[in-house]
Amino acid sequence: MENSDTRQVTMEEGIFGEEQYNEEITKEQMYEFFENTEIGVFVVCVYIRYLYQKFVRDTDFPRKFSFLSPHRISLVLIEAEQELVKEYMVKEFLKYKDERKLFILPFYIHKPIGHWVLFVINPISEIIYYMDPLLNDYMNYLKMKSMFDTVLKVFRSARDAQVSKNKFNNISWVRVQCPRQENGIDCGYFVIRFMKEILISKLNEIPKLVVESEQNLEMNNDLPAFFE
């Protein structure tokens, strides 16, 4: 039951391709966003709901973009529940096995420090775009990379895609240039702004530079609609 310190936000079926559910978010978690403190997965998911309602639902965007749930995919889950993560990703990709769709995934890394990065995955073209506001190399996270590579290979096999031998292991990882955060808490804000810029661009590929400067990361315009 909802109380004065907790709000239930309806996450409709189309957001993550799963059944509708309620995301419970506390007053303290709301303040994370409003007061520019470090944000967690609940705030990121509710912001995705805002992006979905503003830019995706009731437009032609569902043919171009889908979101993957950060509740279902993270570094800690890859380490603990590898098969479940793989099953979820392959299932979502196979729903659109003949469409060149981009899947947007805010991804939480729990070690050595808590940190958000963003992946945008084109399963058919086998391209994984990587955006990290700390400018770390994705090769720092070998278990994650191995999992995503495996998922794309399983997807390729499941849709009977014909790939020449010289390209069989040629999954493309693209490190996208983006601004660098200047402290230890802003990564979540960078990632949600990257998602917004990608949707605004309406492109089928990710531009080399997602956001030109951190001055463009101001999120205040989103605040009135964020928890509607």
Q: What is the pLDDT of residue 214?
A: 46
Q: What is the pLDDT of residue 224?
A: 41
Share of the chain above pLDDT 90, in %: 46
Amino acid at 209: L
Confidence band for 202, pLDDT divided at 50, 70 and 90: confident
CA 53 from chain centre, in angstroms, equals 16
pLDDT of 210 above 70: no
Q: What is the pLDDT of residue 69?
A: 96
pLDDT in tens, 7-36: 888 999 889 988 899 888 887 877 776 776
pLDDT in tens, 155-186: 999 987 666 545 556 799 999 988 888 887 88
Q: What is the pLDDT of residue 209?
A: 54
Are 41 and 70 in contact, with CB atoms under 8 Å apart?
yes
Average pLDDT, the chain: 83
pTM (two decimals): 0.85
CA 109 from chain centre, in angstroms, equals 12
pLDDT in tens, 102-138: 999 999 999 888 999 999 999 999 999 999 999 999 9
Q: What distance in Å separates the CA atoms of residue 6 and residue 71, rounded to the nearest whole number?
A: 19
Are 32 and 38 in contact, with CB atoms under 8 Å apart?
yes
Ordered domains of the chain (ranges, CATH): 51-222 (3.40.395.10)
The sign of the torsion formed by the CA atoms of 21, 85, 210, 198 equals negative
Confidence band for 200, pLDDT divided at 50, 70 and 90: confident
Residue positions counted in the chain: 228
Q: What's the DSSP call for residue 23?
A: E
CA distances from 197 to 107, 164, 227 (A): 17, 35, 20
Rounded average pLDDT over 44-71: 87
